[in-house]
Structure 1
């Protein structure tokens, strides 16, 4: 066998087992307990303040506590149900994806925690996916209700995560580098777990500790693109364009350090190794795939058919792996996140193609606002649905992927994983 070629397929591993094993490997590659200790800075002469926000931030805080030499204190906010008990760092919880009052209160606490620091002090900022919604602090005269309204509109519009976070930064008193600027002259070391296509640190959690290249004009063009005209106060704020976000080169951010400690690509590579050991050729198609979930599914189905029919871009048995963050333009009244939407559209496009099995799941353990990480669609999913009188096409038209896969006992339920490197997708072609 030539170097790099997969071994013979392990027939003891079922397609479902392999799909779940690859997802498990992807999640484990990004667990804070494993990765955070490798990036901790040296203790400072002065105080150590730990702040943070995101679905993984509480687990990150616990990892800091467990490996820190010396005193520390801090405040971190995570999503409801994602808390991890800490001794010295206060762990708060708030709502995601639509912000709430607890998130606003937490943001104020975090901002207050970095006030009055000196150059001898150190701030460790723990930022992961979800931070933007979990730490809302309205700018100017805006209210939480204003931010909630525009957040809901953006979520329903099909806007990309980059676009949503651009708008959020320009309606915020804490994002777009403002939190790090408030900590000046203390050194700020940001440990980031990426959940965004391209791993742009200014997009992760709307970049509270990193400089921002986007402008009010950019944010305004986004809301106009998606024809969002309410709430009026938020649109007016964008039109006035006062108090820009912190830009690259700003002296208040000099000397700060950014560390990207986990990314979608690293998780895809971990999954690829699982596939390889099971005898499948892994193809990583991309870690930053964006677009409408159902459109991305059609493309993936086309690639699967090309493999099945022509052995291109790889011969079967193989696994197509991808990550990134798709979007869903809500047209129906069903339930389900972008992973369920993608997988349902994939099943419809494949139309029962034999030997093709897939998983789509969010590495944070929560697909949208439901209780599942995602779902699995084996090659018999449509046949099984038909026997139950369930229509995949009707479910897709109603954005009802959750109900569809629930009826077929095909949901992937992990509970909060306490990390987040975006969506994980794997398609087995055997």
Structure 2
């Protein structure tokens, strides 16, 4: 098996490990005495809803919202598609309908909430006084600012009528069980879809500090909401959350462990460096190149051959006008730093099948990638400066395109380091 084949097989295993059909059924709660209502949002929510339908022993109804192109057929749960990563009117209407569905429930009823990555933009119900246009403008600015996912979600929670525990409060006194697929570093449920069913310890002041930190132009209604404290979310200890629990059914770590098992079965040691690595994608790529070089040259901290695995969510501060995403930015920076180092191959993909805003999961890097780019008249450093990772790897025919995976445990990165080179190799 070639290094490229092994890396692609590992990515497929990582995605498969997070499929709802594998990880959801064991977490379903017992049927209630009253009604069962299914709601949710995220890139995996439609597939999660289908699995709930297939395994639920009694009647149920509900509504979930997912990204355009991620809809799957369900018989009793309505599926609505909306925009990601910048919200649209369809998402706003879906959020309104979900909030209306949970009104008037009683203590005998059960709400199953299906939450996965992408839910923040798919539930864009602005707080009183804000418009969808305000939310869209802030989302665009946050996405290109370089803010971390936790920082972005802190702002979103305090400008929302449904996030930051507000959906859970609306479900009270019904029992609420949230089944979550984590796409965030640390698996903190308040950061998965901005925590619509979770208590939020952060504050309006925290959100304002983040907006100042990244010099983001705040619409006057949003600033007034935050400065007045009227945007405070549901806090820990709120009595309306007493009947609520969250079950994490799939995480980045689970996906990395599945990929590591594939490598080991192929006779290649695999080492998980972390499931929650953050930072600028190009800087993470440069650091990972230094680790791979140390392995190749000195056998430290691991003997080669081996695979170095990592997950999490890096960020990209947009400087150019190219076509890219976090994973191809990481991979291009890795390639530039490795400069054609023999025996080192890599893959970096988003487990939802979309890196950035294109239907491209990520790409593969080979020792000859830079050489082939130059032969095409492409300057790798210029592509990196222009945030043009997709343009770079597409020109080489090395993009990874798998279509919607119907799950999402965020970024998957694997670096294969071949046999130890001589100490003179740089």
Give the TM interval when normalised to the shorter protein: over 0.9
Q: Which of 362, 381, 387 is the equivalent residue of 1:374?
A: 362
Specify the alignment match of 2:156 in structure 1.
168
SS in 2 for 1:202: helix
How far 1:243 moved relative to its partner?
4.5
Are residue 234 (structure 1) and residue 242 (structure 2) matched?
A: no
How far 1:390 moved relative to its partner?
1.1
Specify the alignment match of 1:245 in structure 2.
233
Q: Which of 198, 214, 218 is the equivalent residue of 2:202?
A: 214
- Asked if structure 1 preserves the Cα contact closer than 8 Å seen for 2:174 and 2:243, the reply is no
- Asked if structure 2 preserves the Cα contact closer than 8 Å seen for 1:347 and 1:381, the reply is yes
CA distance in 1, matches of 2:190, 2:244: 14
CA distance in 2, matches of 1:351, 1:236: 50
Q: CA RMSD in A?
A: 0.7
SS in 1 for 2:186: coil
CA distance in 2, matches of 1:360, 1:234: 36
SS in 2 for 1:252: helix
Unaligned runs of 5+ in 2: 419-426
Specify the alignment match of 1:341 in structure 2.
329
User: What is the TM-score when the length of structure 1 is the normalising length?
Assistant: 0.96
CA distance in 1, matches of 2:73, 2:219: 38
Q: Which of 135, 145, 160 is the equivalent residue of 1:157?
A: 145
CA distance in 2, matches of 1:176, 1:363: 25
How far 1:281 moved relative to its partner?
1.1
Are residue 391 (structure 1) and residue 379 (structure 2) matched?
A: yes
Q: Which of 61, 78, 102 is the equivalent residue of 1:114?
A: 102
CA distance in 1, matches of 2:44, 2:210: 28
Are residue 276 (structure 1) and residue 259 (structure 2) matched?
A: no
- Asked if structure 2 preserves the Cα contact closer than 8 Å seen for 1:362 and 1:424, the reply is yes
Q: Which of 68, 72, 75 is the equivalent residue of 1:87?
A: 75
Unaligned runs of 5+ in 1: 1-12
- Asked if structure 1 preserves the Cα contact closer than 8 Å seen for 2:304 and 2:417, the reply is yes
Specify the alignment match of 1:422 in structure 2.
410
Within a 5 Å distance, the mapping from 1:10-409 to structure 2 comes to 13-409=1-397
User: What is the TM-score when the length of structure 2 is the normalising length?
Assistant: 0.97
- Asked if structure 2 preserves the Cα contact closer than 8 Å seen for 1:33 and 1:63, the reply is yes
CA distance in 2, matches of 1:243, 1:193: 27
CA distance in 2, matches of 1:167, 1:80: 24
- Stretches (4+) displaced over 6 A: none
How far 1:379 moved relative to its partner?
1.0
String of CA shifts for 1:378-411, please: whole Å, max 9, x gaps. 1110111111111111100100000010000000
Specify the alignment match of 1:5 in structure 2.
none
SS in 1 for 2:185: coil
CA distance in 2, matches of 1:243, 1:25: 41
**Further displaced range: 226-235 or 346-355:** 226-235
Corresponding residue pairs, total: 418
